[in-house]
Structure formats: structure tokens, C-alpha cells
Chain A
Amino acid sequence: MARSIGAPAIGPADGARPAGIQTTLRVNGSVRRLELDPRATLLDTLRERLGLPGTKKGCDRGECGACTVHVNGRRINACMTLAVMHDGDEIVTIEGLARGEELHAVQAAFIEHDALQCGYCTAGQIMSAVACIGEGHAGSADEIREWMSGNLCRCSCYPQIVAAVQTAAQERT
């Protein structure tokens, strides 16, 4: 397989190596200046260059949602975009959600409802849920199911996830 989780996705390939691109990312409120290989996805850059492994690599092809982050306030799949495309952009990852020791309401709701088993999809679920609520797409269980459909859970904790999102959405209003 061409893609593998352990492979150095950012390191130089053999032969011609394109020049690094000076890129400034604003991640969880910090300005991070990097020289990036143009091939580096935002996901790999967060995990491997910025030491933020909370964002998970599941499928690495835009299908599972484990890599969901917020860019300029919108939820996207970090695996499907190049980091160099985000010069100057405001990025929030799961590491940027809590305020010190105080969990975000969605994080607390996931714990309260036991909305995970293995936890691998959870960071993406939570980032997606925060956006889902912010967009106003969490008015009912059906609406939550539809608007959380970009996040897969192999452990199939969907009922608990829906309940957690519903709880967090109600607390917000």
C-alpha cells in the first residue's frame, strides 16, 4: 500500500527535493512558522512537525473524519489538504479546545455519555460535534446523525455520541 501510518510522510524523498515553503500557521492561538515540503498534509504537519498528535490519521483519504480540525472556524478533514495552502489560517485542534483544566462542554458530554470505546475517532468526533452545534445542525437526534455522518466510529458508539452531542447542544442554548 502506498500509504502507511508509520511512514515518514513529510521527510524528503529520494532524488529531487522541492524547496521548502515558508508557511505561518496559527494553531490553537500560537503562531507557528515552518518550512514545509509542499507534499505535507495539514494532518501530518500537525502531528509530526507541531507535536500535536491529538488529531488522528484514520483512513487518510477523507472518508472517516478522524482528522477533523477547524480552519478559520470551519470543520475540515486535515488529511485532504496541504499545509502550505493554509498560510495565515487559524487552526484549532482537539488540543486547543479545553481552557486549561476545564474541558469544553462537548468533551465533558462525551465522558458523561461514555461516547467512546477505543477512542481513536473521538478527537475527530468532538471537533466535528463542536462545529455541528455551532452551525445549528444539532436540533434533533436525526439532525445530529445526518450532520455527524462524516465521522465514522468502528466501535459503533453512535447512540452515545448522538446523546453527547444533544446534551452539549442543549447546554449551549
Chain B
Amino acid sequence: MEPFAYARATDVASAVAVLDERTAVVAGGTELLNLLKERVVTPDRVLDINRLALGEIAFDGTTLRLGALARMSDVAAHPAVRASFPAIAEALEKSASPQLRNMASMGGNLLQRTRCAYFRADTALPCNKRTPGSGCAARNGNTRQQAIFGWSEACVATRRAQHRAR
């Protein structure tokens, strides 16, 4: 990992106020740690939001509300989720591993970067998501895990490039 400063958020408003392109947010860490280790992202600061009160799992009979910090395992085990949204519970329990589900947050799940092996390679390869303009090594590489729909010459991975902290 490249050096970074670490800070712990104490409330949502001040956390949002300090976010910028050079700041990465960490919740479960199951995504960010790998990206940091491979230097796919090299933020100046890592903001730990785990102590914010965003872990809500609430069902009022109509609407299910899942906080960004609700953990996969807690959502899957929640009685209301199991009773009224069994597909969500089942999908969560088919994902990752028990250990990772105890860590990974719902918000972090939505913010995962592409799973493309070229993007995540431990030796940097041409990848427009990693280094814009460098090309797409996956285009004529091993395409076994790549997208069938929605790809372009610039990127044959499954997800749109996202947000901050390169």
C-alpha cells in the first residue's frame, strides 16, 4: 500500500464535508483493502465511517430500509428480511463467505468496482478504468469473466467506471 492518512468519522455531516477525490471511504474494507494492496487506488486519506449510526435494518410492514453500514450477515439474518424478503436473504447468503459477510456493508456492495481481473491485476496492465487512456487488456485477453452485454472497445468489463480515489 502507498502511504495514506487515516481518520475516523464521528458524524455524517462532517464526514460528507471532508470527502474529495483524494479521500477513500472504508466501511467493511473487503473491497478497499484489495484495491489498496494492489495500488489500484492510492488515496491520500482513508476515512473510516464504521462508527457512524448507519447500520439500520427496519421494516414497517411495507418498506424495508437498509442502512449503508448494515452488514450482509445481519441483513440476511434479520427476521423481517427472512420472512418478507427471502430472496434478499438467500442472495446474500450465496455471496462471499461467512467471514466476509460479517464485514461487508450494503453500501460498499453497491460501490464495488469492476471484478475484471485485468483491472485488479497485481501488476498493472493496460486498463482504462485504472489508468484512463491506457487501453483495455481484457479486450483481446482472457474474456471468460467479461460482460456479454454493454461492453465497448474501451472496456469489456461489466460495470461503468465509478467515482473517486485513484
Residues of A participating in the B interface, judged by any CB pair closer than 8 Å: 1-3, 13, 15-19, 21, 38-39, 41, 60-62, 65, 68, 74-77, 79-82, 84-85, 87, 128, 131-132, 135, 137, 147, 149-151
Which segment, of B15-23, B95-103, B145-153, B158-166, faces chain A? B95-103
Partner of A84, one of B1, B6, B30: B6
Majority DSSP secondary structure for residues of A touching B: loop
Query: Size of chain B's interface in residues, with CB distance under 8 A?
Result: 30
Closest to A3 in B: B37
Give the distance in Å from the alpha carbon of A158 to the alpha carbon of B8 in the complex. Answer: 40
If A62-B30, A62-B34 touch, whether A150 touches B100 (CB-CB below 8 Å) is yes
If A85-B50, A132-B98 touch, whether A80 touches B29 (CB-CB below 8 Å) is yes
Give the distance in Å from the alpha carbon of A147 to the alpha carbon of B46 in the complex. Answer: 32
Residues of B participating in the A interface, judged by any CB pair closer than 8 Å: 1-6, 8, 26, 28-30, 33-34, 36-39, 46, 48, 50, 73, 96-100, 102-103, 122-123
Cβ–Cβ contact A128 & B98, under 8 A: yes
Closest to A2 in B: B122
Cβ–Cβ contact A74 & B102, under 8 A: yes
A57 to chain B, nearest CB (A): 12
Cβ–Cβ contact A62 & B122, under 8 A: no
Partner of B29, one of A17, A85, A87, A147: A85
Other than A82-B33, A150-B96, give 18 A-B pairs with Cβ distance below 8 A.
A2-B122, A16-B3, A39-B3, A39-B4, A60-B37, A62-B99, A65-B99, A76-B102, A77-B103, A80-B28, A80-B33, A80-B103, A81-B103, A82-B48, A85-B48, A128-B98, A128-B99, A151-B97
